[in-house]
Structure 1
Amino acid sequence: MAAASLSTSIESGAGPAVCVTLPERLDTAAAFALKGMIEQAKEQGGANGVSLDSSGVAYVGGLCLQILVASGCPLVSPSEQVKEAYSLFGTGEFLSEPLTLPVEQ
């Protein structure tokens, strides 16, 4: 699995929020690490929240999709493959308002 990275971004009018950049492949082998990354980001982000940058994701398996949905974290710039996976698994309503990455100044 490609390593995911944690990055901090600033949203206008709010404190720093943690944005987790997801790896390209979210298959069963990546599930444990994905869960750990999200938990770590939630600890770092606290009340400011966590978002998941899914713009570079090329594959989402069922187990990782369950982890993403259960996390309650908004997806930032979901790739077409992410949108397709959410639709195929019947969870498309969780993508009703795709977010975009905040612009750093």
Structure 2
Amino acid sequence: MSLRQTQIRQSANRPNLFMGGDRELVMFSGLLAFALIFSAFEFKAFVFGTTLWVFALFALRLMAKNDPLLRKVYLRHRKYRTYYPARSTPFYQNTNKQGKQYR
């Protein structure tokens, strides 16, 4: 009896992108630009907010082209500590013979 093989479709395995960039980051940058434009309600704020959003969208598209899951990788990286001490458990007691072996 052979193993059953199932086909994994590409549509079920794609990263969740919006407008070519990471979905959450693109929508958040659009929200920031929208808030800037409509809170100041000046032409300079409109130009600056639109320019900010276009450049943010460009940068997020480049980021997604290199690695679509880069945001998740970065967030997981931030959880790691900088140093992990070499020990098996804090409750392990070395004998005198073991302690002299490493001096």
Give the TM-score normalised by the residue count of structure 2: 0.19
> Larger % of helix: which?
2
Q: Which protein shows a greater Rg?
A: 2
What is the TM-score when the length of structure 1 is the normalising length? 0.18
Which structure dedicates a bigger proportion of its chain to strand? 1
